[in-house]
Chain A
Amino acid sequence: GNSVTQMEGPVTLSEEAFLTINCTYTATGYPSLFWYVQYPGEGLQLLLKATKADDKGSNKGFEATYRKETTSFHLEKGSVQVSDSAVYFCALSSWYGGATNKLIFGTGTLLAVQP
C-alpha cells in the first residue's frame, strides 16, 4: 500500500544553517507529493507540492524535487530562520485506476531553529 517515511526529529539547527528533511515514499499509480507545515497551535498548511516526476515545488525559500528513480521528495532550505521552527509533514496522494486515495502523511519532523 501507499506509505510515506520521513526522518525522525527533532532537527535542531542554528539560524542560517542549511536544512534537509528526508522523505521517501511507496505508492501505486501516479502520486502527487506534498510538504505541509504546522506551526505551534495551528493547523497544517500546504508548503509546496509536485505532481509529476522531476517537478520541483518551491515556496518561502523551501524546495523539494520529485525523484521517481529514488522515490524521494526531500525538503531543503538554504538558510533557516527562527520563524521556520515548526513540524513538517511529507504527504502523498495517488489517483490509481479511477479510485481515489486518501492523503497519506508521514509522522512529521520537528524543526527547532536557534538564534
Chain B
Amino acid sequence: DAGVIQSPRHEVTEMGQEVTLRCKPISGHDYLFWYRQTMMRGLELLIYFNNNVPIDDSGMPEDRFSAKMPNASFSTLKIQPSEPRDSAVYFCASSLTRPSYEQYFGPGTRLTVT
C-alpha cells in the first residue's frame, strides 16, 4: 500500500507569498493530522480532522494558516501570507478509527520562506 503522500517535498518562496501544501492520506484512514517541526519548537500538532471534519485546530498559530479536507483522500494546508518564521518541515499523518491508534507519517514538506 502507498503511504501518506505529500507534495511538494521542498518549497522555497518569498515572504508575503501564498503557500499551499498537499497531503493524500492512506486509503481508508479516517483521521488526518498536520504537524510542524522546527529545531526551536520541536514537533507541533497544528490541526487534525476526523472524517474530513476539523476536530481541533488549537495548534494553528495564526489566522494566516488554514487547512481544508474536501474529501477523504486529500487535504491542504495553506499559509497566506507567508513569513520567514514559517520556515519548517510540515508533516501530514493519518490513522485509522481513533487517534490513539498509531499514526503514519508522510515524508514531509520542507518550507523555506526568504
Contact = CB atoms under 8 A, between A and B. Distances in A.
Interface of A: 32, 34, 42-46, 49, 89, 93-95, 100-103, 105, 107-108
Given A89-B43, A102-B48, A102-B56, A43 B91 contact: yes
Interface in B55-114: 55-56, 91, 93, 98-108
Given A42-B107, A43-B106, A100 B99 contact: yes
A107 B42 contact: yes
Interface of B: 4, 33, 42-43, 45, 48, 50, 55-56, 91, 93, 98-108
Given A42-B108, A95-B100, 10 more contacts: A32-B100, A43-B91, A44-B93, A44-B105, A93-B100, A95-B98, A102-B48, A102-B56, A105-B43, A107-B42
The binding surface of chain A is classed by DSSP as strand
A43 B101 CA distance: 17
